[in-house]
Chains A and B, each alone.
Chain A
Amino acid sequence: MAAILILLTIGLPWLGAVLVWLARDSRPRLQNILAVGFSVAAGLAALALIPSTSSGTAIHLAAGGIFGDFTFVPDGLGVFLAVVATVIGSLAVIFSIDYMKGEAQLGRYYALVLAFIGAMAGLVLTGSLFLVFIFWEITALCSYALISFHNDDPKAVAGGIKALIITQLGGIGLLAGALLVYAHLGTYEISVLLEKAHLIPAGMLAWMAFGFLAAAAAKSAQFPFQTWLPDAMEAPTPVSALIHAATMVNAGVYLLARFYPAFEGVPGWKTAVIAVGAITALMAAVMALVSTDLKRVLAYSTVSQLGYMVYAIGAGGVFASQFHLLSHSIFKALLFLGAGAVIHAVGTRDMRQMGGVGKQMPRVRTVFVIGALALAGIPVLNGFWSKELVLETGLTHGPWLAYLVMLVGAGLTALYTFRCVWMVFYGEPRSHLHGHDAQTAMQIALVPLALGTLVSWLLAGPFAQLLAGSLPFHELEAHSTLEVLAEVITAPATYLALAVVALGLAAWIWRERLSGLASALQGLGKWAADSFGFESINRTVVSSTQRLAEWLRGSQTGYLGWNVAGILAGLIIILAILAWGA
Chain B
Amino acid sequence: MIISSSSVILIGILGLLGVGFYGLLATRNLIKVIVALQILVKAVLLAIILAGNLRGQVNLSQSLALTVIVADTIVAVIGLALAVQIRRYIGTLDVHSLSNLRR
Contact = CB atoms under 8 A, between A and B. Distances in A.
Contacts of B25: 561, 564-565, 568
B101 interface: yes
| Majority SS at the chain A contact face | helix
A558 interface: yes
A490 interface: no
Contact of B33 (A556, A557, A558, A560): A560
Contact of A560 (B24, B101, B103): B24
Interface residues of B, number: 12
A270 to B, nearest CB: 51
Contact of B101 (A557, A561, A564, A565): A557
Contacts of A565: 25
B4 interface: no
A565 B96 CA distance: 15
Interface in B1-37: 21, 24-26, 33
Nearest to A563: B24
A580 interface: no
A561 B99 contact: no
Contacts of A556: 101
A510 interface: no
Contacts, number: 24
B99 to A, nearest CB: 3
A564 B101 CA distance: 17
Nearest to B20: A564
Interface string A546-564: 0000000000111111001
Contact of A558 (B21, B26, B99): B99
Given A556-B101, A558-B100, A560-B24, 11 more contacts: A557-B101, A558-B98, A558-B103, A559-B95, A560-B33, A560-B95, A561-B24, A561-B25, A561-B26, A565-B25, A568-B21
A560 B95 CA distance: 7
A557 B101 CA distance: 7
Contacts of B24: 560-561, 564
Contacts of B100: 558
A556 B101 CA distance: 8
Contacts of A564: 21, 24-25
A32 B72 CA distance: 47
A557 B96 CA distance: 10
Contacts of A568: 21, 25
Contacts of B26: 561
Nearest to B24: A564
A178 to B, nearest CB: 32
Contacts of B99: 557-559
A313 to B, nearest CB: 48
Nearest to B23: A564
Nearest to B33: A560
A558 B94 CA distance: 13
